[in-house]
Chain A
């Protein structure tokens, strides 16, 4: 080789360098292409989440409007009719007393309806009792309904979360419990709330049929997964991750909601 032509040596080395550069350019193009593809998928998923959130909001508004129209509207009509009856018979003291008594009962019912609608819009306990006690109250309410037993456990004496985080986590828990009631055929559920220096975790363990994160992702990609997308959207709002585990012979199915504490991460 020592007697080789210098030009050949240059060409040989240059070819080697060129080969490596072609490889590098291919890697860089792949990185750019792959990142664009991932970004497009992410944007598409965000659009689906937004659409699901809007759908859920519309459905919620529709339901509230129906409640207000059917229940409250009817009660107010009854009260109106009662007053009209009184106005037509102002001299009959007995009728006035009877109708006024009926109207008071209907007004009480109406107050209850307004209270329930307000409670659905924003759980009053969250402000009054705090997140932990509201969650315990929710578990108690479901247990009292009789279909299944929901026990609530917490690691620390009181876990305080920012109001926005508390509300969204409460809604997420509500929706997850709702899904368990509807789809898992569970009879016992345990809600476990833990907090440490870096994160808060809420684990819902049950004795019904579990579902995996893979199946959840599959369902979310289908048109009908609106509730799951809404759940995901709420979780994203509070920087939470939801993990679904089907369980095995040793471990019951569970769902874990994990929230990192931002102030610790930055």
Chain B
């Protein structure tokens, strides 16, 4: 029996439209967004544009993987910027800044040697592990510097939860992405359905973070 992937494909569409939620929330909360939060707002805008391009190219049956790869580099830069601004008084930001340039350099070299139309599983896996570490540090920072009476009122909690959930959940997918794409292409919609589900959760949590930026500090 041929597997039915219509539900996963449906998730891909929901994921695409869910990008609008944080974009709209961020737009309404723009005056409350600090430099740190703006990095994530720009990420959402970049995500909205790239998802739209991917969506259109998919409908036109044109390969769109290179758009995702350009997006991955921008995503890495903007999320790194978010954490650099969070830890701005710490010496660790110097290493974070160096890592941004190293990653961009590796991505450009990879485009040059391996072409732009294949999955860069090493880049995505390393990025995921790195952001998982950053987000754990951020939770530690949040507990060490309790600005809010309730942690659920802190936008940082929601942004960090979004990043940790997205990159942890997708880690296995990213590790095996190239392998699966090459050897099990037919199960790809189902696996990217999981990715879409995590995307929806990510956008929902980021929207909550944007919404909470208007919360008064105690």
A binds B: yes
Q: Within 8 Å of chain A (Cβ to Cβ): is B100?
A: no
Residues of B within 8 Å of A, CB-based: how many?
A: 30
Task: Evaluate contact between A17 and B173: CB separation under 8 angstroms.
Answer: yes
Instruction: Name the A residues within 8 Å of B164 (CB-CB).
Output: 24, 27-28
Task: State the Cβ distance, A128 to closest chain B Cβ, in Å.
Answer: 39
Instruction: Name the A residues within 8 Å of B143 (CB-CB).
Output: 31, 34-35, 38
Majority DSSP secondary structure for residues of B touching A = helix
Task: Evaluate contact between B169 and A13: CB separation under 8 angstroms.
Answer: no
Q: Within 8 Å of chain B (Cβ to Cβ): is A32?
A: yes
Enumerate B189-203 residues with CB–CB distance to A below 8 Å.
Answer: 190-191, 194, 198
Enumerate B155-213 residues with CB–CB distance to A below 8 Å.
Answer: 157, 161, 164-165, 168-173, 176, 180, 183-184, 186-187, 190-191, 194, 198
- With A27-B139, A32-B152 in contact, do A6 and B146 touch (Cβ < 8 Å)? no
Enumerate A1-33 residues with CB–CB distance to B below 8 Å.
Answer: 1-2, 4, 6-7, 9-10, 13-14, 16-17, 20-21, 23-24, 27-28, 31-32
A-B contacts counted at CB < 8 A amount to 72
Task: Evaluate contact between B176 and A13: CB separation under 8 angstroms.
Answer: yes
Enumerate A167-219 residues with CB–CB distance to B below 8 Å.
Answer: none
Q: Within 8 Å of chain B (Cβ to Cβ): is A39?
A: yes
Task: Evaluate contact between A10 and B187: CB separation under 8 angstroms.
Answer: yes
- With A17-B170, A28-B161 in contact, do A10 and B191 touch (Cβ < 8 Å)? yes
Majority DSSP secondary structure for residues of A touching B = helix
Task: Evaluate contact between B168 and A24: CB separation under 8 angstroms.
Answer: yes
Using CB atoms and an 8 Å cutoff, list the residues of chain A in contact with chain B: 1-2, 4, 6-7, 9-10, 13-14, 16-17, 20-21, 23-24, 27-28, 31-32, 34-36, 38-39, 42
> What are 8 pairs between A and B in contact, CB < 8 Å?
A9-B187, A17-B173, A20-B172, A24-B161, A24-B169, A27-B164, A35-B143, A39-B149
Using CB atoms and an 8 Å cutoff, list the residues of chain B in contact with chain A: 3, 136, 139, 142-143, 146, 149-152, 157, 161, 164-165, 168-173, 176, 180, 183-184, 186-187, 190-191, 194, 198
Which 7 pairs show the lowest CB-CB distances between chains A and B? Answer: A16-B172, A6-B187, A35-B151, A20-B168, A24-B168, A10-B190, A31-B139
Excluding A9-B180, A27-B136, A28-B161, 18 further A-B contacts by CB distance (< 8 Å) are: A2-B183, A2-B184, A6-B184, A10-B191, A13-B191, A13-B194, A14-B194, A16-B172, A17-B170, A20-B171, A20-B172, A21-B165, A24-B164, A27-B139, A28-B164, A31-B139, A32-B151, A39-B146
